[in-house]
Structure 1
Amino acid sequence: MGPRAGRRRTELLAAAARLFAAHGYRGVTIDDLGRAVGTTGPALYRHFPGKEALLGAVLVDISERLAERGRALVADSDTSEGALSALLRGHIAFALDEPDLITVHDRELGNLIDRDRRTVRRLQRGYVEEWVNVLAELRPGAGRSTLRASVHATFGLLNSTPHSRGELSRDAMADLLLRMGTAALLAQTPASG
């Protein structure tokens, strides 16, 4: 794929995420998608076989980017504390800068074809395990199931930004999410008794 085709593909993915978030997958036509990037609907078939494939590409793309970023952030960190902070900051940036993708994932995952849904789930599991591996070093007494549940709960908090940001500035919301996410992930599991 050449640079121009790559740019067009990126434009299409961004436009599709924006339109699917605003109107739902079923509420967007191929013509709507074409108009959003300054072309005709049928011209999209040069890049994707159809709207279903475009939805799959949107969700697989973000899952791949998050997984790759997670691996890189952990690899570039000298300490577990640094890795956790980097993971949190990276996910917070995603949540604040790409809220349409959170909305599309929440609402439209069920519209993916099986192959794309399996790919998204596999990539997401790998991303979660990056977090769990870091937390296992910081909370050695906690079981992996508890750590995994902590990560998923924290994602719920971080991914609430399309609904919870309100009037806070981006920086204020990022700081709030970092403090809350850190506290949630490092919360000690109460002793059973």
Structure 2
Amino acid sequence: MTTPVTARDRAKAERTDAILLAAADLFGARGYSGVSLEDIGAAVGISGPAVYRHFAGKQALLGALLIGVSEDLVSGGAAVVSGASDDRSRMAALVDFHVDFALRNADVIRVQDRDLSHLTADSQDDVRRLQRGYIELWIDTLGTLVDAERDELRLRVQACFGLLNSTPHSTSAALRTRADTARVLAAMAMAALTAVG
């Protein structure tokens, strides 16, 4: 990603980010098919056709949203792992990273669960490739703590993602403070990942 140099470039980058946030919110609430480019444009104060200055269309916007989030997970997860001092703290840092992601990005998780099929085949391949990379990062990290075959480690990681990514579908998270929710989810995730048996 390049850093915008001029005020105009910065304004365009900020508008692009605002469009992505609005799309996540609207797609999360109403689904891809229930949202038009006019809806997204209106949410950021521009016309629907003006969205084309930033994205080739609604499908391209969905692709940018889901691919961008997947890239952020891979790069963020790698940074977290490289900054930890020992095996257990690496795993705990990854869990904390993903808990924070799940709590901040409930709309994106809903969109991923429901609307991935609306992407082009190439964009779906990109998302799946990035997700595999993120899963492998978790498997490699968990493998330092749990003596198990790689298939079992994958099962543990994917079950943990199921737990953490179910947060947007749960009303119970609204009954706690975010810090309380994060603490409970992190403890549950670590227990599930390292469970004996």
Aligned counterpart in structure 2 of residue 173 of structure 1, from 152, 170, 181:
181
Q: What are the Cα deviations for residues 103-162 of structure 1, in whole angstroms up to 9, with x where unaligned?
A: 0000001111011100000000000111100111111x2011100111010001001111
1:148 corresponds, among 149, 154, 157, to 154
* d(CA) in 2 for partners of 1:43, 1:163: 33
Describe the superposition over 1:58-100 as per-residue Cα deviations: whole angstroms up to 9, x where unpaired. Answer: 1001000001001100111111111111101110001111100
Match of 2:20 in 1: 13
Report how far residue 163 of structure 1 moved: 1.9
Partner of 1:158: 164
1:31 aligns with one of 38, 42, 59: 38
Structure 2 gaps, min length 5: none
Counterparts of residues 13-162 of structure 1 (less than 5 Å): 13-139=20-146, 141-162=147-168
Alpha-carbon separation, structure 1, partners of 2:61 and 2:54: 9
> Could you tell me the TM-score, scaled by structure 2's length?
0.93
Q: Distance in 2 between matches of 1:61 and 1:127?
A: 13
Letter in 2 for 1:161: T
- Alignment match of 2:11 (pick from 4, 10, 13): 4
Task: Give the Cα separation in 2 of the matches to 1:145 and 1:71.
Answer: 21
Q: Which amino acid aligns with 1:51?
A: K
The separation in 2 between residues aligned to 1:39 and 1:146, in whole angstroms, is: 49
Deviation of residue 166 (structure 1)?
3.7
Displacement of 1:3 in angstroms is 1.8
Question: Secondary structure of the residue that 2:176 maps to in structure 1?
Answer: coil
Residue segments in structure 1 that go unaligned for 5+ positions in a row: none
Count of residues in Structure 1 that have an aligned counterpart in Structure 2: 188
SS at match of 2:65: helix
Sequence identity of aligned pairs in percent? 46
Distance in 2 of aligned mates of 1:12 and 1:45: 11
Residue identity opposite 2:167 in structure 1: T
